[in-house]
Amino acid sequence: MKEKIIDFFNGVVKEMKKVTWPTKVELKESTTIVIVVCLIIAVFTYVVDMGVTQIFQGLF
């Protein structure tokens, strides 16, 4: 059992050495894109929700 745990962590260390980590600039750009897209989706959802609310209030 102990050997399996040690093998597992050795495998984790090997795989982590293969990872290509983003640079600060890449990370900042990706984060900005994610935040902007989230804001756009939030605004779109809000507008659609307000539109549907107005439609339903007009029907009843």
Contact present, 35 and 43 (Cβ < 8 Å): no
Each residue's pLDDT, cut to its tens digit, for the chain (60 residues) gives 999 999 999 999 999 999 999 999 999 999 999 999 999 999 999 999 999 999 999 887
Three-state secondary structure call for residue 24: helix
Residue 9 lies in a domain: no
Per the structure, the complete domain to which residue 44 belongs is given by 24-60
Contacts of 22 (CB under 8 A, 6+ apart): 30
d(CA 36, CA 44): 12
Predicted confidence at residue 43, as pLDDT, reads 98
Residue 2 lies in a domain: no
Three-state secondary structure call for residue 46: helix
Residue 18 lies in a domain: no
Domain count along the chain: 1
Measuring CA to CA, how many Å separate 22 from each of 31, 32, 45, 47? 11, 14, 31, 35
